[in-house]
Structure 1
Amino acid sequence: MRRQNLALVLSTVAASGPLSRAAVAGRVGLTRAAVSSLVDELLGAGLLVEGETQASGKAGRPGRALALHDRGPAGLGLEVGPAHLGACVVDLRGEPRVWHRVPALNRSRPAEQVLGELAELAAASTREALALGLRIEGAVLAVPGVLGPAHDTVEHAPNLGWHGVVPAEHWPAALRAPELENEANLGALAELWRGGEPADTLVHISAETGIGAALVIDGRLFRGAAGYAGELGHVPVHTDGPRCSCGARGCLEQYAGARAVLRAAGVRGTHRDPVAALVDRAREGHAPTLAALTRAGEAFGTALTSAVNLVDPAAIVLGGAYTELAPWLLPAMTTELTARVRVRPWDPDTLRPSRLGRRGPLLGAALLTTQRVITDPARLWD
């Protein structure tokens, strides 16, 4: 019971702080004496701080404001993408205190080399965090691919060229190997926790070279029976379409993936950041690019129709790098969904761009640890 009450008090301050002890007691339904004892324990563990006097507007002694500590426990987020590596550290308040995103053409390099460089970035970020008074309580790695049931293996990440990769086998012994999670899932969680997304049932799209999605139902990730839910990029749009890297034909990625859009636009050459190249050409009014983006938006709308009819989400959030393409994708997506969704009322405002954009997966990776601490602080002294 005490473990649950510690979590209740800390979660209340996290959601609504700064709050006085009396205000916390009023919100959680415990006595002031019980809350005071729990608060003292959380203060002693370095999870809360008691700051300036907070006026209550009522007679009597004003309370001191409780808030999450900006030092102490923190989460380390890591990310490997086709063209970048990332690392960030967030404190209990969810504020990024360390942030690194560096270019790296990972799709053409061995996994061992990529993970070695990522480990160096993780170690440097950890040192920076320590200098800020932060203590890393866990590390999570965002990966653009399908994970094994135990979340220790990247079974299939075609845009990295990874198949059956176990990151822990290539991680330095001096560093704790990170937990693995799909980058689309982490982008969705970041949207819930830090993106200001009011809906708790949503489809979150994370797109760049590949296209993934995450389904959140009542504020919880839906993973599917074996953890493979969310492969939006391999939903068939045209069954007789071009062959996909997965082996099937006509998958969404063949029409709406960044490199597929570049090909459709007739843009040649290798681009370190294909989305940025598309944005530049769209802003210039490059007609073939605008047409290709319209076709990509139509393909997205076709693929998402089934999700809307099956799940009835309160929001569809276009995230990842494709947030930057929202001005050109969303109109065609909206038109297609409006034409196809007939069995339920369709509100075009359901579809919207992410507030976090490319930052989402990396931020979500770091937040996963701090959210676990907030919902179960006793885990720190088990």
Structure 2
Amino acid sequence: MRAHNLALVLHTAANSTYPPSRAAVAAATGLTRATVSALVDDLVAGGLLVEVDPPPRTGAGRPAAGLALTSAGPAGLGLEINVDYLAACVVDLTGAVRHRQVEHADQRPVEQAQALATLGRLAAAARLAAEADGLIVAGATLAVPGLVADGLVRVAPNLGWQDVDAAAALLAVPELADLPITVDNEANLAALGELRASFSPGDGARHSFLYVSGEIGIGAGLVIDGELYRGVRGWSGEIGHVTVYPDGRPCRCGARGCLEQYAGQEALARDEQLAAAALGIALSAVVNLLDVPVIVLGGAYAPIFGTLREGIEAELRRRVLTAGLAPVALRPAALGPDAAMRGAADTIIQAVRDDPAAWLRRFT
């Protein structure tokens, strides 16, 4: 019960329009003022909440201090390895980015051990920077452009990886050895980051959208009613390997005519018009099958959304059966190319928010 109430109080303070007083939290949660006061004391002592200037005065008497998430305390470490870059960022409990570093380099000719060692160096530097800023890194999540199951990168065609234990490689870095590290698909993490960045607290549960991550490869994350859909084995979202031209260009996956051969970052540089048409064809199939109301273009697509929009929407109008009844909304990602590593870091922060009792137990 205490763990539930701690999470309830923390969420109430975090999701309020303005920093609520203890009395306001009690009124919103139905808990007694004494219970809320004791829980708040624990959350403040544990570095999760901080007392700030009083909220706007609504009646007679001296206004009480407000409660807000602290910008000092737990932080999430988001890591990303992609075909042409490595990245790391640190996000604090309020969602603010406190450290960010990206190293651009083609990872395809690099041995996986070397790539992960370089990423480990970025991660270690990010953790040191966070600690110098008074933060405590609660864990790390790695975003990868491939299929992940049981903690392993089962296959990442564009990197040439198969059955790679990326978390174990990172834990071998001395500065990271005590961190909980998880691995997930980059498009899934980007979709989660977009969900939390684009919608007001408590509002995201009403939203459904398809997030499309445009890099050298193309991935997608599907959010339905505020929840990420992963598929039975956790491998959904491989839109880059949807066939758009059956007798088309050979793909690294072994098939022909895959979307990423026409709309991946390298193909995009050659012919933006063809890329937009190919995207429109693939996205029309997704909408016809799943009735997705919103499509969000991220990664390399976000900065050139205006260039791609007309070609994609033309194909959606032509191919989606319900286009005349309910046109699909198309928009650029709010987080741009940082969505995957931001989403990765946010999974750590979200875990602390959802179970503050577990965080507090680390210090008792």
Task: Name the TM-score, length of structure 2 as normaliser.
Answer: 0.92
Q: For each residue in 1:19-55, what CA deviation from the matched residue of structure 2 results, as whole angstroms up to 9, or x when unmatched?
A: 1112222222323222222211111211000112333
Deviation at 1:127, TM superposition (A): 0.9
Match of 2:295 in 1: 316
Change (3 A) 1:376 1:257: same
Q: Which whole-Å CA distance do the structure 2 matches of 1:169 and 1:378 have between them?
A: 27
Q: Which whole-Å CA distance do the structure 1 matches of 2:12 and 2:245 have between them?
A: 49
Deviation at 1:215, TM superposition (A): 0.4
2:277 maps to 1:303: no
Match of 2:95 in 1: 94
1:75-90 correspondence to structure 2 within 5 Å: 75-90=76-91
Change (3 A) 1:246 1:346: farther
Is the CA contact (8 Å cut-off) linking 2:297 and 2:332 kept in structure 1?
Answer: yes
2:4 maps to 1:7: no
Match of 1:157 in 2: 156
Q: For each residue in 1:250-289, what CA deviation from the matched residue of structure 2 results, as whole angstroms up to 9, or x when unmatched?
A: 1111211122234xx3xxxxxxxxxxxxxxxxxxxxxxxx
Q: Which whole-Å CA distance do the structure 2 matches of 1:106 and 1:346 have between them?
A: 45
Deviation at 1:87, TM superposition (A): 0.8
Is the CA contact (8 Å cut-off) linking 1:75 and 1:139 kept in structure 2?
Answer: yes
Change (3 A) 1:296 1:347: farther
1:200-349 correspondence to structure 2 within 5 Å: 200-262=207-269, 265=270, 292-343=271-322, 347-348=326-327
Is the CA contact (8 Å cut-off) linking 2:316 and 2:323 kept in structure 1?
Answer: no
Match of 1:279 in 2: none
Q: Which whole-Å CA distance do the structure 1 matches of 2:359 and 2:140 have between them?
A: 15
Match of 1:143 in 2: 144
- Which SS does the other structure have where 2:102 is aligned? strand
Is the CA contact (8 Å cut-off) linking 1:82 and 1:107 kept in structure 2?
Answer: yes
- Which SS does the other structure have where 1:100 is aligned? strand
Q: What amino acid is aligned across from residue 202 of structure 1 in structure 2?
A: F
- Which SS does the other structure have where 2:24 is aligned? helix
Match of 2:65 in 1: 64
Q: Which whole-Å CA distance do the structure 2 matches of 1:240 and 1:49 have between them?
A: 60
Q: For each residue in 1:111-165, what CA deviation from the matched residue of structure 2 results, as whole angstroms up to 9, or x when unmatched?
A: 11111111111111111111111001110011111112x1x21121122222222
Deviates more, 1:77-86 or 1:159-168: 159-168
Q: Which whole-Å CA distance do the structure 1 matches of 2:35 and 2:312 have between them?
A: 53
Is the CA contact (8 Å cut-off) linking 1:48 and 1:68 kept in structure 2?
Answer: yes
Q: Which whole-Å CA distance do the structure 2 matches of 1:298 and 1:104 have between them?
A: 29
Q: Number of residues paired by the alignment?
A: 352
- Which SS does the other structure have where 1:186 is aligned? helix
What value does the CA root-mean-square deviation take over the aligned residues?
1.8
Q: For each residue in 1:65-84, what CA deviation from the matched residue of structure 2 results, as whole angstroms up to 9, or x when unmatched?
A: 10001111110011111121
Q: Which whole-Å CA distance do the structure 1 matches of 2:107 and 2:190 have between them?
A: 20
Deviates more, 1:32-41 or 1:119-128: 32-41
Q: For structure 1, list consecutive stretches of 5 or more residues without a partner in the other structure.
A: 266-291
Q: Which whole-Å CA distance do the structure 2 matches of 1:76 and 1:196 have between them?
A: 22
Q: What amino acid is aligned across from residue 162 of structure 2 in structure 1?
A: H
Q: Which whole-Å CA distance do the structure 2 matches of 1:124 and 1:343 have between them?
A: 50
Q: Which whole-Å CA distance do the structure 1 matches of 2:211 and 2:337 have between them?
A: 13
Match of 1:51 in 2: 52
Is the CA contact (8 Å cut-off) linking 2:187 and 2:221 kept in structure 1?
Answer: yes
